[in-house]
Amino acid sequence: MTTTISNSMLSIEIKHAGAELCSIIKKENDREYMWQADPEFWGKHSPILFPIVGTLKNNTYSYNETEYTLSRHGFARDLTFELINKKDDSATFSLLSNETTLKVYPFAFELQIKYSLDNASLRIEYNVINNSDTNLPFSIGAHPAFSLPQDFENYTLEFEKEEKLTYHLLENNLLSNVTEVLESTDKKVALKYSLFERDALIFKTLKSNSITIIEDDKPLLAVHYDNFPHMGIWTIQKAPFLCIEPWYGYSDTTETTGKIVDKEGIQTIVAADTFTTAYSIEIL
């Protein structure tokens, strides 16, 4: 099942499964901006990463001396959300903790995802509500994949600010202490598949609050992420898409203790409180 929202400029489609954004069409030229989940490369569009981002060491963590198992990126992307509010240009989805989630993540929560349109921008808001009587540790992240139909080398990334683009390398899907610097000129990085030979580029810190994809020297779209502290950029060899992924949190480090409350990058909500953040995709 899907829900469509639209305005005079854009038409958006969201799957109820995972509350996953699956289509952004610009009405002016009928162009699709989202990757259409060709399973030959990667069968998803824009999964929501919750209650973890990335991979846990041995796919396990401990809380109050009990061990739990969670697969990569958590379970939200695999569960069906309820549509709780719908207008012409906005839609809000909800996922409540249940018997299944409590077995792998022993916290009562509600995760709300709101999609709303403003001219040529789509805003995606995350609300994590702690329904527990204890602190709730979590990570949350976006994973939108944008369609790049031309040759990959025809595309460039432009960062909002001039900065040293230091990223961490993954080791067996865990974050290592090995870093490299992404070469840039005038805030721009030329895309090439060789950048992703060792998986995603993981940035713990960026000064920039937005990244623009440029196609044939013309801005195509921008991802704005004012409050997100971490970032992943990823594609698969020869795949015609790129993911720009604002995150709160990332994979376990190779030195992790395994305790979720000590996990590097973890966020915490006190009992009965709500965490809110948002990012936006602007079609240019």
Q: Which domains does the chain have, with CATH numbers?
A: 2-283 (2.70.98.10)
The tokens 């950048």 sit on which residue? 195
Question: 92-101 — which CB contacts under 8 Å span 24+ positions?
Answer: 93/14, 93/16, 93/19, 95/19, 97/131, 100/75, 101/75
- Which helix (H) or strand (E) segment holds residue 95: the answer is strand 90-96
CB environment 167-176: b (16+ within 10 A), e (fewer): bbebeeebbe
67 touches 61 (CB < 8 A) = yes
From residue 153, alpha-carbon distances to 33, 93, 219, 251 in Å are: 18, 37, 15, 29
Q: Is 284 exposed, middle or buried (0-12, 13-18, 19+ CB in 10 A)?
A: middle
The tokens 């909500």 sit on which residue? 269
pLDDT, one tens digit for every residue, the chain (284 residues)? 999 999 999 999 999 999 999 999 999 999 999 999 999 999 999 999 999 999 999 999 999 999 999 999 999 999 999 999 999 999 999 999 999 999 999 999 999 999 999 999 999 999 999 999 999 999 999 999 999 999 999 999 999 999 999 999 988 899 999 999 999 999 999 999 999 999 999 999 999 999 999 999 999 999 999 989 999 999 999 999 999 999 999 999 988 999 999 999 999 999 999 999 999 999 99
DSSP 17: B
